[in-house]
Chain A
Amino acid sequence: MTRQLNERAAIGGPPSGPAFPDPPAITIIQPEHGWVPLRLREFWEFRDVLYFLVWKDIKVRYRQTLIGAAWAIIQPLTTMVVFAFFFGHLVKVPSDGLPYPLFAFAALVPWTFFARGLTLSSDSLVANGHLITKIYFPRLLLPFARILSGLPDLALSFFVLLGMTYWFHIFPGLISLLWLPALVLLAMATALGVGLWLSALNVQYRDVQHVVPFLTQLWFFATPIAYPSSLLHEPWRTVYALNPMVGVVEGFRWALLANGNPPGLVLAASALAAVIVLVTGAFFFQRVEGSFADVV
Chain B
Amino acid sequence: MADIAVKVENLGKRYRIGTARTTGSLMLREVVTNALSRPFRRFSHINGAHVKGSEISSSYIWALQNVSFEVPRGQILGIICPNGAGKSTLLKILSRITRPTEGRVELHGRVASLLEVGTGFHPELTGRENIYLSGSLFGMRKTEIDRKLDEIVAFAEIEKFIETPVKHYSSGMYVRLAFAVAAHLEPEILILDEVLAVGDVTFQRKCLNKMEDVKQRGRTVLFVSHSMPAVTRLCDRALLIEDGAIQQDGRAATVTSAYLLSKLNTTAERTWPDPANAPGNDIARLHRVRVCVEDGVTAASVDIREPIGIEMVYDVLKPGHVLLPFYRFFNEAGLCVFIAQDAGTEWRGRPRPLGRFTSVAWIPGNLLAEGTLLVSAGLYTLDPFTVHFIEKDTVAFHVIESADGSSARGEWDGNWEGVFRPLLKWTTQVCPLPSG
Contacts and interface: CB of A to CB of B under 8 A. Distances in A.
Contacts of B106: 26-29
A233 interface: no
Interface in B88-140: 92-111, 113, 115-116, 119-120, 122, 124-125, 129, 132-133, 136-138, 140
Contacts of A27: 96, 106-107, 111
Contact of B97 (A51, A133, A287, A295): A133
Contacts of A206: 25, 27
17 contacts: A24-B109, A26-B106, A28-B106, A33-B49, A48-B141, A51-B142, A52-B136, A59-B129, A131-B120, A134-B119, A135-B120, A201-B39, A205-B27, A290-B47, A291-B47, A293-B92, A295-B24
B115 A60 contact: no
Interface in A12-28: 23-28
A131 to B, nearest CB: 6
Interface of B: 15, 24-28, 31, 39, 42-44, 46-47, 49, 92-111, 113, 115-116, 119-120, 122, 124-125, 129, 132-133, 136-138, 140-142, 165, 188
Contact of A137 (B101, B137, B142): B137
Contact of A24 (B43, B46, B138, B188): B188
Interface string A196-212: 00000100111110010
Given A27-B106, A294-B15, A295-B46, A135 B138 contact: yes
A4 interface: no
A234 interface: no
Given A29-B96, A205-B31, 20 more contacts: A29-B99, A29-B100, A29-B104, A31-B49, A48-B140, A63-B124, A63-B165, A131-B137, A133-B97, A135-B115, A135-B137, A206-B25, A206-B27, A207-B27, A287-B43, A290-B98, A291-B43, A291-B46, A294-B15, A295-B46
A49 B98 contact: no
Nearest to B130: A56
Nearest to A33: B49
Nearest to B94: A29
A151 interface: no
A29 B111 CA distance: 13
B57 to A, nearest CB: 19
A288 interface: yes
The listed residue with most B CB atoms (<10 A of its CB), out of A24, A33, A287, is: A24
Contacts of A49: 136-137
Contacts of B107: 26-29
Contacts of B97: 132-136, 293
Q: How large is the interface on A (under 10, 10 to 19, 20 to 34, 35 or more residues)?
A: 35 or more
A30 interface: yes
A19 to B, nearest CB: 11
A27 B124 CA distance: 34
Contacts of B28: 205, 207-208, 211
A52 B133 contact: yes
Contacts of B95: 135-136
A136 B115 CA distance: 11
A217 interface: no
A64 interface: yes
A135 B49 contact: no
A54 to B, nearest CB: 11
The listed residue with most B CB atoms (<10 A of its CB), out of A28, A48, A133, is: A48
A56 B138 contact: no
A288 B136 contact: no
Q: Which 10 A-B pairs give the minimum distances between C-beta atoms?
A: A24-B109, A290-B99, A29-B105, A136-B96, A206-B25, A27-B107, A291-B46, A207-B28, A293-B98, A48-B136
Given A26-B107, A204-B25, A205-B28, A31 B100 contact: yes
Contacts of A208: 28
